[in-house]
Structure 1
Protein backbone atom coordinates (compact mmCIF):
# COMPACT_ATOMS: atom_id res chain seq x y z
CA UNK A 1 0.00 0.00 0.00
CA UNK A 2 1.27 3.48 -0.86
CA UNK A 3 0.37 5.28 2.35
CA UNK A 4 1.41 8.69 1.12
CA UNK A 5 -1.12 8.55 -1.73
CA UNK A 6 -4.01 6.82 0.02
CA UNK A 7 -4.54 8.88 3.16
CA UNK A 8 -8.11 10.02 3.76
CA UNK A 9 -7.97 13.21 5.81
CA UNK A 10 -10.65 14.43 8.22
CA UNK A 11 -10.77 18.25 8.44
CA UNK A 12 -11.98 19.27 11.88
CA UNK A 13 -11.17 21.94 14.46
CA UNK A 14 -10.76 21.17 18.18
CA UNK A 15 -13.80 21.89 20.32
CA UNK A 16 -11.84 23.00 23.38
CA UNK A 17 -8.49 24.47 24.33
CA UNK A 18 -5.32 22.80 23.10
CA UNK A 19 -1.62 22.76 23.89
CA UNK A 20 0.95 22.71 21.12
CA UNK A 21 3.43 19.85 21.53
CA UNK A 22 6.15 18.18 19.43
CA UNK A 23 5.97 14.53 18.40
CA UNK A 24 9.35 13.16 19.50
CA UNK A 25 8.76 9.44 19.03
CA UNK A 26 5.89 7.24 17.82
CA UNK A 27 5.26 4.33 20.19
CA UNK A 28 2.51 2.54 18.27
CA UNK A 29 -0.70 3.39 16.43
CA UNK A 30 -2.23 5.34 19.30
CA UNK A 31 0.56 6.92 21.31
CA UNK A 32 3.67 9.06 21.12
CA UNK A 33 6.34 10.75 23.22
CA UNK A 34 6.22 14.52 23.63
CA UNK A 35 7.80 17.35 25.61
CA UNK A 36 5.64 19.60 27.75
CA UNK A 37 6.08 22.35 30.31
CA UNK A 38 5.53 21.15 33.86
CA UNK A 39 3.17 24.07 34.40
CA UNK A 40 0.74 22.48 31.94
CA UNK A 41 0.45 19.49 34.26
CA UNK A 42 0.68 21.17 37.66
CA UNK A 43 -1.16 24.41 36.90
CA UNK A 44 1.68 26.35 38.51
CA UNK A 45 2.83 29.15 36.11
CA UNK A 46 6.11 29.50 38.00
CA UNK A 47 7.27 26.01 37.05
CA UNK A 48 8.80 26.44 33.57
CA UNK A 49 10.74 23.17 33.54
CA UNK A 50 10.03 20.72 30.73
CA UNK A 51 9.14 17.04 30.97
CA UNK A 52 9.04 14.23 28.47
CA UNK A 53 5.73 12.40 28.78
CA UNK A 54 3.77 9.81 26.83
CA UNK A 55 0.53 10.75 25.11
CA UNK A 56 -2.29 8.20 24.81
CA UNK A 57 -5.09 8.83 22.32
CA UNK A 58 -8.45 9.36 24.01
CA UNK A 59 -11.05 7.48 21.95
CA UNK A 60 -9.23 4.92 19.79
CA UNK A 61 -7.18 1.76 20.27
CA UNK A 62 -4.78 0.62 17.54
CA UNK A 63 -3.62 -3.01 17.20
CA UNK A 64 -0.85 -4.03 19.58
CA UNK A 65 2.56 -4.29 17.92
CA UNK A 66 2.40 -8.09 18.29
CA UNK A 67 -0.96 -8.23 16.50
CA UNK A 68 -1.52 -8.33 12.72
CA UNK A 69 -1.44 -4.74 11.50
CA UNK A 70 0.18 -3.41 14.67
CA UNK A 71 3.46 -2.31 13.11
CA UNK A 72 1.67 -1.02 10.02
CA UNK A 73 -0.57 1.12 12.25
CA UNK A 74 2.52 2.56 13.93
CA UNK A 75 4.08 3.34 10.54
CA UNK A 76 0.86 4.92 9.31
CA UNK A 77 0.69 7.22 12.34
CA UNK A 78 4.33 8.15 11.73
CA UNK A 79 3.45 9.27 8.18
CA UNK A 80 0.75 11.52 9.65
CA UNK A 81 2.49 13.23 12.59
CA UNK A 82 6.03 11.86 12.94
CA UNK A 83 8.53 14.64 13.85
CA UNK A 84 5.79 17.29 13.61
CA UNK A 85 3.97 19.57 16.05
CA UNK A 86 0.35 18.89 16.92
CA UNK A 87 -2.38 20.65 18.86
CA UNK A 88 -3.40 18.35 21.70
CA UNK A 89 -6.91 18.61 23.09
CA UNK A 90 -6.36 17.17 26.56
CA UNK A 91 -9.11 15.04 28.09
CA UNK A 92 -9.83 14.49 31.77
CA UNK A 93 -9.63 10.84 32.84
CA UNK A 94 -12.68 9.80 34.82
CA UNK A 95 -10.82 7.09 36.77
CA UNK A 96 -8.04 9.42 37.95
CA UNK A 97 -9.77 12.82 37.90
CA UNK A 98 -6.66 14.22 36.18
CA UNK A 99 -5.34 14.75 32.66
CA UNK A 100 -3.11 11.69 33.09
CA UNK A 101 -4.24 8.07 33.27
CA UNK A 102 -3.12 5.44 35.79
CA UNK A 103 0.04 4.89 33.72
CA UNK A 104 0.96 8.62 34.03
CA UNK A 105 0.25 9.25 30.33
CA UNK A 106 -1.47 12.37 29.06
CA UNK A 107 -4.75 11.47 27.39
CA UNK A 108 -5.94 13.59 24.49
CA UNK A 109 -6.98 14.03 20.87
CA UNK A 110 -4.22 15.26 18.51
CA UNK A 111 -4.95 17.72 15.70
CA UNK A 112 -2.56 18.55 12.86
CA UNK A 113 -2.70 21.80 10.88
CA UNK A 114 -1.15 21.77 7.41
CA UNK A 115 -1.03 24.19 4.49
CA UNK A 116 -2.20 23.16 1.07
CA UNK A 117 -1.49 25.19 -2.05
CA UNK A 118 -3.87 22.94 -4.02
CA UNK A 119 -6.68 20.85 -2.56
CA UNK A 120 -9.26 18.50 -4.07
CA UNK A 121 -12.73 17.83 -2.74
CA UNK A 122 -16.02 16.36 -3.89
CA UNK A 123 -19.40 17.99 -3.57
CA UNK A 124 -22.53 16.21 -2.40
CA UNK A 125 -23.33 15.58 -6.08
CA UNK A 126 -19.95 13.81 -6.38
CA UNK A 127 -18.38 16.50 -8.57
CA UNK A 128 -14.62 16.86 -8.14
CA UNK A 129 -13.32 20.38 -7.45
CA UNK A 130 -9.77 21.71 -7.21
CA UNK A 131 -9.15 24.55 -4.77
CA UNK A 132 -6.13 26.83 -5.36
CA UNK A 133 -4.89 29.75 -3.28
CA UNK A 134 -2.88 32.73 -4.58
CA UNK A 135 -2.34 34.88 -1.49
CA UNK A 136 -1.18 32.29 1.00
CA UNK A 137 -1.70 28.62 1.82
CA UNK A 138 -5.02 26.99 2.61
CA UNK A 139 -4.73 25.95 6.25
CA UNK A 140 -6.53 22.72 7.11
CA UNK A 141 -6.76 21.32 10.64
CA UNK A 142 -7.23 17.56 10.84
CA UNK A 143 -8.45 15.15 13.54
CA UNK A 144 -5.72 12.49 13.66
CA UNK A 145 -7.79 10.05 15.73
CA UNK A 146 -10.57 10.00 13.16
CA UNK A 147 -8.03 9.59 10.36
CA UNK A 148 -6.54 6.52 12.06
CA UNK A 149 -10.02 4.97 12.29
CA UNK A 150 -11.22 5.99 8.82
CA UNK A 151 -8.06 4.68 7.16
CA UNK A 152 -8.53 1.35 8.90
CA UNK A 153 -5.78 1.37 11.53
CA UNK A 154 -7.69 1.61 14.82
CA UNK A 155 -10.76 0.48 16.74
CA UNK A 156 -13.06 2.86 18.63
CA UNK A 157 -13.23 2.80 22.44
CA UNK A 158 -16.99 3.06 22.86
CA UNK A 159 -16.79 2.86 26.66
CA UNK A 160 -15.30 6.37 26.73
CA UNK A 161 -18.26 7.91 24.93
CA UNK A 162 -16.78 9.13 21.62
CA UNK A 163 -18.81 11.18 19.17
CA UNK A 164 -20.99 9.16 16.78
CA UNK A 165 -18.65 10.14 13.95
CA UNK A 166 -16.03 7.74 15.30
CA UNK A 167 -18.39 4.79 14.90
CA UNK A 168 -19.39 6.00 11.43
CA UNK A 169 -15.70 6.20 10.47
CA UNK A 170 -15.11 2.66 11.76
CA UNK A 171 -18.08 1.33 9.80
CA UNK A 172 -16.86 3.10 6.65
CA UNK A 173 -13.34 1.64 7.01
CA UNK A 174 -14.71 -1.87 7.51
CA UNK A 175 -17.13 -1.65 4.57
CA UNK A 176 -14.40 -0.39 2.23
CA UNK A 177 -11.80 -2.84 3.63
CA UNK A 178 -9.12 -0.29 4.46
CA UNK A 179 -6.07 -0.96 6.61
CA UNK A 180 -6.44 -4.02 8.81
CA UNK A 181 -9.86 -4.68 7.32
CA UNK A 182 -8.33 -5.31 3.87
CA UNK A 183 -7.39 -8.87 4.80
CA UNK A 184 -9.88 -11.58 5.64
CA UNK A 185 -9.82 -12.68 9.24
CA UNK A 186 -11.54 -12.45 12.60
CA UNK A 187 -9.56 -9.69 14.24
CA UNK A 188 -9.30 -9.57 18.02
CA UNK A 189 -9.67 -6.04 19.46
CA UNK A 190 -6.51 -4.84 21.21
CA UNK A 191 -8.12 -4.81 24.67
CA UNK A 192 -9.11 -8.49 24.31
CA UNK A 193 -5.64 -9.32 22.98
CA UNK A 194 -4.05 -7.70 26.05
CA UNK A 195 -6.38 -9.59 28.40
CA UNK A 196 -5.50 -12.83 26.63
CA UNK A 197 -1.75 -12.15 26.96
CA UNK A 198 -2.24 -11.30 30.63
CA UNK A 199 -4.06 -14.58 31.25
CA UNK A 200 -1.30 -16.51 29.45
CA UNK A 201 1.35 -14.79 31.55
CA UNK A 202 -0.48 -15.60 34.76
CA UNK A 203 -0.69 -19.24 33.74
CA UNK A 204 3.00 -19.26 32.87
CA UNK A 205 3.85 -17.72 36.24
CA UNK A 206 1.92 -20.28 38.27
CA UNK A 207 4.07 -22.21 40.71
CA UNK A 208 1.94 -25.35 40.64
CA UNK A 209 1.38 -24.75 44.37
CA UNK A 210 -2.10 -24.40 45.77
CA UNK A 211 -2.90 -21.46 48.03
CA UNK A 212 -2.62 -22.74 51.64
CA UNK A 213 -5.57 -20.68 52.88
CA UNK A 214 -8.38 -22.98 53.99
CA UNK A 215 -11.25 -23.19 51.49
CA UNK A 216 -9.53 -20.93 48.92
CA UNK A 217 -8.72 -23.26 46.00
CA UNK A 218 -6.55 -20.69 44.21
CA UNK A 219 -2.97 -21.11 43.00
CA UNK A 220 0.11 -19.16 44.00
CA UNK A 221 1.12 -16.76 41.20
CA UNK A 222 4.39 -14.88 40.86
CA UNK A 223 4.00 -11.11 41.07
CA UNK A 224 6.25 -8.07 41.27
CA UNK A 225 5.63 -5.57 44.05
CA UNK A 226 7.25 -2.50 45.58
CA UNK A 227 9.85 -4.67 47.32
CA UNK A 228 10.48 -7.16 44.53
CA UNK A 229 9.05 -10.54 43.53
CA UNK A 230 6.59 -12.43 45.70
CA UNK A 231 3.84 -15.04 45.35
CA UNK A 232 0.20 -14.15 45.82
CA UNK A 233 -3.07 -15.99 45.42
CA UNK A 234 -4.53 -16.11 41.91
CA UNK A 235 -7.97 -15.23 43.32
CA UNK A 236 -6.83 -11.84 44.69
CA UNK A 237 -8.55 -9.67 45.92
CA UNK A 238 -10.90 -12.39 47.21
CA UNK A 239 -7.89 -14.00 48.92
CA UNK A 240 -5.01 -11.77 50.02
CA UNK A 241 -2.53 -14.51 50.92
CA UNK A 242 1.09 -13.78 49.91
CA UNK A 243 4.54 -15.10 50.69
CA UNK A 244 8.17 -14.63 49.76
CA UNK A 245 9.28 -15.64 46.26
CA UNK A 246 11.90 -17.87 47.84
CA UNK A 247 9.63 -20.86 48.41
Structure 2
Protein backbone atom coordinates (compact mmCIF):
# COMPACT_ATOMS: atom_id res chain seq x y z
CA UNK A 1 0.00 0.00 0.00
CA UNK A 2 2.88 2.38 0.81
CA UNK A 3 4.40 1.79 -2.64
CA UNK A 4 1.14 2.66 -4.37
CA UNK A 5 0.78 5.87 -2.33
CA UNK A 6 4.38 6.81 -3.13
CA UNK A 7 3.91 6.19 -6.85
CA UNK A 8 0.69 8.19 -6.84
CA UNK A 9 2.41 11.07 -5.04
CA UNK A 10 5.30 11.06 -7.54
CA UNK A 11 2.91 10.99 -10.49
CA UNK A 12 0.88 13.89 -9.13
CA UNK A 13 4.03 15.89 -8.36
CA UNK A 14 5.30 15.46 -11.92
CA UNK A 15 1.91 16.30 -13.40
CA UNK A 16 2.07 19.69 -11.63
CA UNK A 17 5.80 20.32 -12.06
CA UNK A 18 7.08 23.55 -13.49
CA UNK A 19 8.80 23.26 -16.87
CA UNK A 20 12.01 25.17 -17.57
CA UNK A 21 11.43 27.17 -20.75
CA UNK A 22 14.44 29.50 -20.63
CA UNK A 23 17.88 29.99 -19.12
CA UNK A 24 19.16 33.57 -18.87
CA UNK A 25 22.53 32.83 -17.30
CA UNK A 26 24.17 30.44 -14.86
CA UNK A 27 21.87 31.32 -11.97
CA UNK A 28 18.61 32.47 -13.55
CA UNK A 29 15.99 30.53 -15.45
CA UNK A 30 12.38 30.85 -16.53
CA UNK A 31 9.74 28.27 -15.68
CA UNK A 32 6.24 27.83 -16.99
CA UNK A 33 4.02 27.78 -13.91
CA UNK A 34 0.26 27.53 -14.25
CA UNK A 35 0.52 28.81 -17.82
CA UNK A 36 2.63 31.84 -16.88
CA UNK A 37 6.35 32.41 -17.27
CA UNK A 38 8.10 33.02 -13.96
CA UNK A 39 11.73 34.16 -13.58
CA UNK A 40 13.61 32.15 -10.98
CA UNK A 41 16.93 33.11 -9.39
CA UNK A 42 18.84 30.15 -7.98
CA UNK A 43 19.22 30.65 -4.24
CA UNK A 44 22.55 30.76 -2.43
CA UNK A 45 24.75 31.05 -5.53
CA UNK A 46 26.07 33.69 -7.92
CA UNK A 47 27.24 32.70 -11.38
CA UNK A 48 29.59 34.68 -13.62
CA UNK A 49 27.95 37.43 -15.63
CA UNK A 50 27.57 36.83 -19.38
CA UNK A 51 30.59 39.01 -20.26
CA UNK A 52 32.81 37.47 -17.60
CA UNK A 53 35.06 34.48 -18.24
CA UNK A 54 32.98 31.30 -17.80
CA UNK A 55 29.72 33.26 -18.09
CA UNK A 56 28.68 31.44 -21.26
CA UNK A 57 29.88 28.08 -19.92
CA UNK A 58 27.94 28.56 -16.70
CA UNK A 59 24.77 29.31 -18.66
CA UNK A 60 25.39 26.28 -20.87
CA UNK A 61 25.87 24.03 -17.81
CA UNK A 62 22.55 25.16 -16.31
CA UNK A 63 20.86 24.77 -19.70
CA UNK A 64 22.12 21.20 -20.12
CA UNK A 65 20.86 20.35 -16.65
CA UNK A 66 17.46 22.08 -16.71
CA UNK A 67 16.26 23.40 -20.08
CA UNK A 68 13.12 21.66 -21.29
CA UNK A 69 12.85 19.61 -18.12
CA UNK A 70 10.41 19.62 -15.28
CA UNK A 71 11.69 21.42 -12.22
CA UNK A 72 10.77 21.19 -8.58
CA UNK A 73 11.17 24.53 -6.83
CA UNK A 74 11.79 25.15 -3.14
CA UNK A 75 10.75 28.77 -3.27
CA UNK A 76 12.00 31.38 -0.85
CA UNK A 77 11.54 35.12 -1.04
CA UNK A 78 11.24 37.34 -4.08
CA UNK A 79 14.31 39.43 -4.93
CA UNK A 80 14.38 43.15 -5.69
CA UNK A 81 13.96 42.41 -9.41
CA UNK A 82 10.74 40.49 -8.82
CA UNK A 83 12.29 37.06 -9.38
CA UNK A 84 11.40 34.07 -7.27
CA UNK A 85 14.48 32.92 -5.35
CA UNK A 86 14.53 29.13 -5.11
CA UNK A 87 16.46 25.92 -4.79
CA UNK A 88 15.77 24.21 -8.12
CA UNK A 89 15.78 20.48 -8.79
CA UNK A 90 15.88 19.39 -12.44
CA UNK A 91 15.65 15.70 -13.19
CA UNK A 92 16.16 15.00 -9.50
CA UNK A 93 19.42 16.99 -9.41
CA UNK A 94 19.83 20.06 -7.21
CA UNK A 95 20.87 22.64 -9.82
CA UNK A 96 22.17 25.10 -7.21
CA UNK A 97 24.53 22.47 -5.82
CA UNK A 98 25.54 21.24 -9.29
CA UNK A 99 26.55 24.74 -10.40
CA UNK A 100 28.82 25.17 -7.37
CA UNK A 101 30.21 21.61 -7.45
CA UNK A 102 31.06 21.93 -11.16
CA UNK A 103 32.79 25.28 -10.69
CA UNK A 104 30.11 27.21 -12.56
CA UNK A 105 29.12 29.49 -9.66
CA UNK A 106 30.30 30.93 -6.39
CA UNK A 107 28.51 30.54 -3.10
CA UNK A 108 26.82 33.91 -2.68
CA UNK A 109 27.96 34.40 0.89
CA UNK A 110 25.85 37.49 1.49
CA UNK A 111 22.64 35.52 0.80
CA UNK A 112 23.68 31.90 1.41
CA UNK A 113 21.49 29.71 3.64
CA UNK A 114 23.13 26.37 2.79
CA UNK A 115 26.32 25.89 4.79
CA UNK A 116 27.15 22.69 2.86
CA UNK A 117 27.76 24.71 -0.31
CA UNK A 118 30.91 26.24 1.19
CA UNK A 119 32.67 22.86 1.30
CA UNK A 120 31.58 22.11 -2.26
CA UNK A 121 33.00 25.40 -3.46
CA UNK A 122 36.27 24.73 -1.62
CA UNK A 123 36.52 21.29 -3.26
CA UNK A 124 35.84 22.71 -6.73
CA UNK A 125 38.42 25.44 -6.12
CA UNK A 126 41.03 22.91 -4.92
CA UNK A 127 40.37 20.73 -8.00
CA UNK A 128 40.53 23.80 -10.28
CA UNK A 129 37.19 22.82 -11.83
CA UNK A 130 35.29 25.22 -14.08
CA UNK A 131 35.91 28.89 -13.31
CA UNK A 132 38.50 27.84 -10.74
CA UNK A 133 40.81 26.91 -13.64
CA UNK A 134 41.28 30.68 -14.06
CA UNK A 135 44.25 31.98 -12.05
CA UNK A 136 42.25 34.85 -10.54
CA UNK A 137 38.50 34.61 -11.17
CA UNK A 138 36.51 37.71 -10.25
CA UNK A 139 33.41 37.30 -8.13
CA UNK A 140 30.28 38.37 -10.02
CA UNK A 141 29.19 40.79 -7.28
CA UNK A 142 32.55 42.59 -7.54
CA UNK A 143 32.34 42.56 -11.34
CA UNK A 144 28.87 44.15 -11.22
CA UNK A 145 30.07 46.73 -8.70
CA UNK A 146 33.06 47.68 -10.89
CA UNK A 147 30.87 47.92 -14.00
CA UNK A 148 28.40 50.11 -12.15
CA UNK A 149 31.23 52.38 -10.96
CA UNK A 150 32.60 52.58 -14.51
CA UNK A 151 29.15 53.46 -15.82
CA UNK A 152 28.77 56.19 -13.23
CA UNK A 153 32.21 57.65 -13.94
CA UNK A 154 31.62 57.45 -17.70
CA UNK A 155 28.25 59.19 -17.41
CA UNK A 156 29.82 61.92 -15.23
CA UNK A 157 32.63 62.39 -17.75
CA UNK A 158 30.14 62.66 -20.61
CA UNK A 159 28.08 65.22 -18.66
CA UNK A 160 31.21 67.29 -17.98
CA UNK A 161 31.94 67.53 -21.71
Same fold (TM over 0.5): yes
Matched, 1:112 2:112: no
Q: Deviations over 1:189-235 (max 9, x none)?
A: 001100100011111111128xxxxxxxxxxxxxxxxxxxxxxxxxx
Structure with more strand by fraction = 1
Matched, 1:36 2:33: yes
Distance 2:46 2:76 in 1: 16
Distance 1:196 1:160 in 2: 20
Aligned length: 144
Shift in alpha-carbon separation, 1:67–1:205, aligned structure 2, 3 A:
same
Q: Which residue of 1 aligns with 2:24?
A: 27
TM-score, with normalisation over the residues of structure 1?
0.56
Higher relative contact order (CA 8 A, sep 6+): 2
Report matched runs for 1:4-153 at 5 Å. Answer: 20-37=17-34, 50-92=35-77, 100-113=78-91, 141-153=92-104
The Cα shift of 1:161 comes to: 3.5
Equivalent in 100, 113, 117 of residue 162 of structure 1: 113
SS in 2 for 1:160: coil
Equivalent in 126, 136, 153 of residue 186 of structure 1: 136
Distance 2:61 2:37 in 1: 23
The Cα shift of 1:34 comes to: 1.5
Report matched runs for 1:223-238 at 5 Å. Answer: none
Structure 2 contact 70–90 (Cα < 8 Å) conserved: yes
What CA RMSD, in Å, does the superposition of the two structures yield over aligned residues? 1.5
Distance 2:86 2:104 in 1: 18
Pair member with larger Rg: 1
Q: Could you list the runs of 5+ residues in structure 2 that have no partner in the other structure? A: 1-15
Q: Which residue of 1 aligns with 2:145?
A: 195
Matched, 1:173 2:158: no
Shift in alpha-carbon separation, 1:36–1:79, aligned structure 2, 3 A:
same
Structure with more helix by fraction = 2
